[in-house]
Amino acid sequence: MKYTLLGKTGLRVSQIALGTGNFGTGWGHGANADDSTAIFNAYAEAGGNFIDTADVYQFGQSEEILGSLLQGRRENFVLATKFTNGAVPNADRLVTGNSRKALIASVEGSLKRLKTDRIDIYWAHHPDGVTPAEEIVRGFEDLARAGKILYAGLSNFPAWRLSRAVTLAELTHAVPIAAAQFEHSLVHRQPEADLFPASEALGLGIVTWSPLGGGMLTGKYRQGEKGRAEGMGGRVFQPENSEQRTNVLDAVLAIAGDLGVSADQVAIAWAGSHGAVPMIGPRSLTQLTSNLGAIGVELSSGQLDRLDSVSNLDPAAPARCPLPWTGESGSRKPVA
């Protein structure tokens, strides 16, 4: 496993992050404690050190499982979690959203479940549509001063909200917004028009989720598997519902065959070529082992061009900006 600096921080994180939305069975679809333990330990043995969770994942079970797994080795990992949605079904309106009250209640609950005294990266999970950026920024600053979080981040925020929050933090000398997290894959490339160039210009670390399009890019749904397409009510899933998406998957499968690797490894390797840390979310040890094989996959310029071409953005979308994989100034290179 290689490591890369997270944005302008001195934090060195592994080139692939482990998302733990499948740790637990509170949603009716996930991995039990034993399977979660096997996934976590194998990721750690492979050199992974970047763990991402959220209070809402499996209604708190993900954080609880991680809290037990981290005992005795907490300092070996960068631990990130999120707030906004609450840790129980139908959480009260006062403990959901991005208000200061919800922020404080959420961080205290996460700290207890994670059995730790601080969170390394604390994300606002998504905008709530009402809380001003000033309140979010000030809340992060208060938590940092109290020693409960080390870094702040914004997940699933549009580029304009992200830019405003980063600027406010700079102007008020609050704890900086260190990173941005958003969906990105061969079947969801819209962030390349705004979120990637905005994050790069602002010096943010970039973490991208669902590099497999909810599993679609593995090709397994062509074989009749259901997985996330039904297991989570179809949420966080990109269906093969267009000619372009069929062509994308065909290209992924063809390149995988040429290289003698699996389709998921090709898709993750492509996502990792954009200067981001792609986050995987395996539900089994078999899936994790396959996903981590992406570390050894080197896509040629011709293969990258082929995948870029077949998955190109809608011509009506904003013009795509140059991405950091070109090696131009500002790109994030792996470090030892």
Measured distance CA(282)–CA(288) in Å, rounded: 5
Residue 330 lies in a domain: no
- Backbone dihedral angles phi then psi of residue 160, each to the nearest 5 degrees: -70, -40
Residue 25 lies in a domain: yes
The answer to whether 57 is a known catalytic residue is: yes
Check residue 182 and report its DSSP letter.
Answer: E
Residue 207 lies in a domain: yes
Which residues on neighbouring strands pair with residue 153, listed in sequence order?
A: 123, 179
Pick from 166, 52, 155, 41: nearest CA to 110: 52
Measured distance CA(326)–CA(110) in Å, rounded: 39
Which pLDDT value is given to residue 323?
38
Residue 47 lies in a domain: yes
Which pLDDT value is given to residue 223?
80
CATH code of the domain containing 179: 3.20.20.100
Domain span at residue 188?
Answer: 3-315
Residue 327 lies in a domain: no
- Of 3, 43, 57, 122, which is the active-site residue? 57
Which pLDDT value is given to residue 304?
97
Cβ atoms 23, 32 nearer than 8 A: no
Which pLDDT value is given to residue 231?
56
Which pLDDT value is given to residue 319?
44
User: Within 10 Å of residue 42's Cβ, how many Cβ atoms?
Assistant: 16
Measured distance CA(287)–CA(296) in Å, rounded: 16
Measured distance CA(212)–CA(283) in Å, rounded: 13
Which pLDDT value is given to residue 233?
56
Tokens describing residue 25: 């069975």
State the DSSP H helix or E strand holding residue 205, giving kind and residue range, or none if neither: strand 205-209
User: Within 10 Å of residue 147's Cβ, how many Cβ atoms?
Assistant: 9
- Backbone dihedral angles phi then psi of residue 180, each to the nearest 5 degrees: -125, 145
pLDDT means per 10 residues in the chain (336 residues)?
97 98 96 98 98 98 98 98 96 96 98 98 97 98 98 98 98 98 97 97 98 94 69 67 93 98 98 97 97 97 97 62 34 36
Which residues on neighbouring strands pair with residue 12, listed in sequence order?
A: 5
Residue 30 lies in a domain: yes
Helix (H, G, I), strand (E, B) or coil at 2: coil
Q: Listing from the earlier edge strand, what are the strands of the sheet with 12-14?
A: 12-14, 3-5, 334-335
Residue 228 lies in a domain: yes
Q: Looking at the 3D structure of the chain, how many domains does it have?
A: 1
Tokens describing residue 167: 């600027």
**Terminus-to-terminus CA distance in the chain, angstroms?**
10
Residue 73 lies in a domain: yes
- In order of 170, 171, 276, 318, the CA distances from 20 in angstroms are 31, 34, 18, 33
Which pLDDT value is given to residue 327?
31
